[in-house]
């Protein structure tokens, strides 16, 4: 029977609940236990797909095309699993299902209420992940226990525990232990209060993960154990680490996975094997060199908006045994500052995905500068589109070329709406989403990097390279190095006489893992290392 772990948070947001859930997943998987993960987000949006990255950070796309919370990216990277749509649940999606059912008449005239109808729907989403091939479902609940929107979720978890049996479920509560005042005393009150909140909803945590910037003293552990009614073994310190990859190792040192296995009565014949993970954490902390890669973004004060790109660059660093320093460059600054050598000292560039007019000319200018100066450049989705516009305008003689997204009146729409997008009117969940295959051109750089002819990548876009211009672009020197297998969509582009100038219509960052760095990011960082050596 599948067991369940629920991860809640208290005191403050951004305490690292997602990393905690991911680390627990990694540790259990390393013990040979089959895990899957899920995020319950209490906001009303049906999914984060329509949210501004300022508000919510990156939208993470699953293989089956769900637009989800960025924590799913942490889960996939740490646990190396491929999650599906069901792993992402929001209040909006719950209410939508309940209201659809009500409209169909399925409630047979009953008054539809939070208890039992909304809570039943939440429980059924949790149950739907408990398949035969899963030993443990780890479910993280977004927000903190005091939030208004979280109440139906906590109530559903309380009922769930009662229904499946106490030993089948384990509650982990993540809190903060701050150090305050001249004496820098460790304070347990915030933790006590948030546990009181949780208990007032009928949930007694089994484990309390205490985020703290320094070691927890024995007496503080005892105090939390006593006031929160959790055995001392269940009080786990989560301290700051040198890199993210060390978190599972630290939690293991604290005995977290052993205690969970005991609580849930799960045993496995396999010895815990953390060797691969240890080696990743070690290599991340002791690189043999470093390179600087610029990310040309719109949301440079909100690095979470490009989280998977940054993580994939780190993986590319692991593949090349270097640390990758990310330099955030505002796309809007590129054009005015171009003359001032703003790319000096930068060994490589990523032009990431994006939407909307702001900053687009800076991205096109970046494509041009990197093309002309030999700086390695990887264009992702909108990045590829900017590269194509640069080649069109500056090499193919298509003056004023643009994308329909930014100027539908442009003389040459080298980037145009995909055919199947033309009838779309709704914004949510209507892009070309999820995994699609592409066929790579034999002998191209991308084919060499992937070491494969057919590759699968995740997508999230409405626009594409206009087939009307592909011959003009090729004549100007652009290599179309990958197409959709039916030949109708351009998926990869490159320049063969450049150290690394590669664009993809996909989002390769979503499939990069610390143990399997993505070939395009490994390739970009490798080219950046060569450039750094030459300069
Ligand atoms: N805005 C572009 C499109 O919709 C690119 C999208 C992206 O970069 N994810 O095609």
Per-residue pLDDT band for 461 (boundaries 50, 70, 90) equals very high
pLDDT at 481: 97
Answer yes or no: 509 catalytic: yes
* Burial status of residue 345 (CB atoms within 10 A of its CB: 0-12, 13-18, 19 or more): exposed
463 Cβ inside 6 Å of ligand 1: yes
Which one, of 63, 65, 71, lies nearest residue 15 by Cα?
71
* Burial status of residue 180 (CB atoms within 10 A of its CB: 0-12, 13-18, 19 or more): exposed
Where does 492-535 have alpha helices with state H? 519-534
166 vs 209, which has greater pLDDT? Answer: 209
pLDDT at 270: 66
Pocket test for ligand 1, best of 305, 405, 415 (most atoms within 8 A of CB): 405
pLDDT value at 15 more than 90: no
69 Cβ inside 6 Å of ligand 1: no
- The terminus-to-terminus CA distance of the chain in angstroms comes to 59
Q: How far is CA 316 from CA 308, 311, 399, 524, in A?
A: 12, 9, 36, 8
Answer yes or no: 56 catalytic: no
Model confidence over 16-27: pLDDT tens digits? 899 999 999 999
In 3-state terms, what secondary structure has residue 49?
A: helix
Q: Whose CA is nearest to atom 9 of ligand 1?
A: 353
Answer yes or no: 290 catalytic: no
**CA–centroid distance for 534 within its chain:** 34
Q: Of the listed 381, 405, 461, 464, which one is catalytic?
A: 381
Mean predicted confidence (pLDDT) in 496-522: 97
Q: How far is CA 108 from CA 95, 113, 192, 196, in A?
A: 18, 13, 44, 39
Would you list the DSSP string of 237-296? EEE--SSTTHHHHHHHHTTHHHHHHHHHT---SSPP--HHHHHHHHHHHS-SEEEEEEEE
Q: Using CA atoms, how far apart are residues 397 and 412, in angstroms rounded to an integer?
A: 10
| DSSP H or E run through 364 | helix 360-373
Which one, of 353, 381, 355, 350, lies nearest residue 367 by Cα?
350
pLDDT at 136: 97
Model confidence over 287-327: pLDDT tens digits? 999 999 999 998 778 888 999 999 999 999 999 999 999 99
241 CA from centroid of ligand 1 (Å): 35
Other Cβ atoms closer than 10 A to 420:
10
Q: Which atom of ligand 1 is the closest one to the Cα of 415?
A: 10
354 Cβ inside 6 Å of ligand 1: yes
222 vs 48, which has greater pLDDT? Answer: 222
pLDDT at 269: 63
451 CA from centroid of ligand 1 (Å): 27
**Rounded to two decimals, what is the model's pTM?**
0.94
Q: Which atom of ligand 1 is the closest one to the Cα of 356?
A: 1
4 Cβ inside 6 Å of ligand 1: no
Q: Are 351 and 383 in contact (CB under 8 A)?
A: yes
Q: Using CA atoms, how far apart are residues 381 and 62, in angstroms rounded to an integer?
A: 16
Mean predicted confidence (pLDDT) in 107-136: 95
Q: Using CA atoms, how far apart are residues 394 and 410, in angstroms rounded to an integer?
A: 15
Q: Locate the DSSP E strands across 145-274.
A: 169-176, 179-180, 185-186, 207-212, 235-239
Model confidence over 55-106: pLDDT tens digits? 788 999 999 999 999 999 999 999 999 999 999 999 999 999 999 999 999 9
462 Cβ inside 6 Å of ligand 1: yes
pLDDT value at 3 more than 70: yes
pLDDT value at 374 more than 80: yes
pLDDT value at 339 more than 80: no
Q: Of the listed 67, 332, 457, 509, which one is catalytic?
A: 509
Q: Tokens for 386, please give them.
A: 């900017």
Pocket test for ligand 1, best of 58, 381, 413 (most atoms within 8 A of CB): 381
Q: Using CA atoms, how far apart are residues 56 and 407, in angstroms rounded to an integer?
A: 28
Beta 169-176 vs 207-212: how paired, if at all?
parallel
In 3-state terms, what secondary structure has residue 349?
A: strand
Q: Using CA atoms, how far apart are residues 32 and 433, in angstroms rounded to an integer?
A: 32
Q: Which atom of ligand 1 is the closest one to the Cα of 380?
A: 8
359 Cβ inside 6 Å of ligand 1: no
pLDDT value at 328 more than 90: yes
| DSSP H or E run through 400 | none
Mean predicted confidence (pLDDT) in 24-37: 95
pLDDT value at 146 more than 80: yes
Q: Which atom of ligand 1 is the closest one to the Cα of 460?
A: 9
Model confidence over 152-204: pLDDT tens digits? 999 999 999 999 998 999 999 999 999 888 888 888 899 999 999 999 999 99
Q: Are 13 and 144 in contact (CB under 8 A)?
A: yes
User: pLDDT above 90 covers what percent of the chain?
Assistant: 83
95 Cβ inside 6 Å of ligand 1: no
């Amino acid at each position: 029977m599948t067991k369940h772990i629920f991860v809640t948070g208290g005191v403050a947001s951004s305490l690292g609940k997602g990393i905690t859930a991911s680390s627990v997943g990694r540790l259990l998987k390393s013990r040979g236990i089959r895990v899957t993960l899920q995020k319950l987000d209490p906001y009303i949006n049906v999914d984060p797909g329509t949210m501004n990255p300022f508000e919510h950070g990156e939208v993470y796309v699953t293989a089956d095309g769900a637009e989800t919370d960025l924590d799913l990216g942490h889960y996939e990277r740490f646990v190396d699993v491929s999650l599906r749509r069901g792993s992402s649940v929001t209040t909006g999606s719950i209410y939508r299902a309940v209201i659809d059912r009500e409209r169909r008449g399925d409630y047979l005239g009953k008054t539809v209420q939070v208890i039992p109808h909304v809570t039943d729907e939440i429980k059924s989403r949790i149950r739907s992940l408990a398949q035969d091939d899963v030993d443990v479902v780890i479910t993280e609940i977004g927000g903190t226990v005091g939030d208004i929107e979280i109440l139906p979720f906590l109530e559903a978890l309380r009922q769930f525990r009662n229904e499946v049996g106490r030993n089948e479920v384990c509650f982990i509560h993540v809190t903060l232990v701050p150090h305050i005042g001249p004496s820098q005393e460790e304070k347990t009150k915030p933790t006590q209060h948030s546990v009181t909140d949780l208990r007032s909803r009928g949930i007694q945590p089994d484990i309390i993960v205490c985020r703290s910037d320094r070691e927890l003293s024995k007496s503080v552990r005892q105090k939390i154990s006593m006031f929160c009614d959790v055995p001392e073994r269940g009080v786990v310190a989560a301290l700051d680490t040198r890199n993210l990859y060390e978190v599972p190792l630290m939690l293991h040192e604290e005995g977290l996975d052993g205690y969970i296995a005991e609580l849930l009565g799960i045993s496995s014949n396999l010895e815990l094997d953390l060797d691969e993970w240890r080696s990743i954490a070690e290599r991340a902390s002791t690189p043999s060199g470093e390179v600087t890669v610029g990310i040309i973004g719109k949301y440079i004060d909100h690095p979470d908006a490009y989280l998977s790109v940054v993580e994939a660059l780190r993986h590319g660093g692991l593949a090349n045994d270097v640390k990758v320093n990310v330099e955030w460059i505002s796309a809007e600054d590129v054009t005015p500052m171009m003359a001032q050598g703003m790319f000096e000292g930068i060994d490589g560039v990523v032009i990431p995905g994006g939407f909307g007019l702001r900053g687009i000319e800076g991205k096109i200018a970046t494509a041009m500068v990197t093309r002309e100066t030999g700086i390695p450049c990887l264009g992702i989705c909108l990045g590829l589109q900017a590269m194509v516009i640069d080649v069109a305008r500056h090499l193919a003689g298509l003056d004023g070329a643009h994308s329909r997204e930014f100027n539908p009146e442009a003389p040459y729409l080298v980037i145009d709406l995909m055919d199947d997008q033309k009838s779309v009117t709704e914004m949510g969940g209507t892009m070309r989403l999820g995994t699609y295959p592409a066929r790579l051109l034999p002998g191209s750089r991308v084919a060499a990097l992937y070491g494969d002819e057919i590759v699968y990548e995740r997508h999230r876009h409405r626009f594409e390279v206009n087939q009307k211009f592909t011959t003009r672009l090729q004549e100007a020197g652009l290599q179309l190095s990958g197409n959709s297998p039916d030949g109708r969509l351009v998926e990869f582009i490159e320049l063969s006489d450049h150290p690394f100038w590669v664009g993809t219509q996909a989002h390769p960052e979503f499939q990069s893992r610390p143990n399997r760095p993505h070939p395009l990011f490994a390739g970009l960082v490798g080219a950046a290392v060569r450039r750094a050596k030459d300069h």
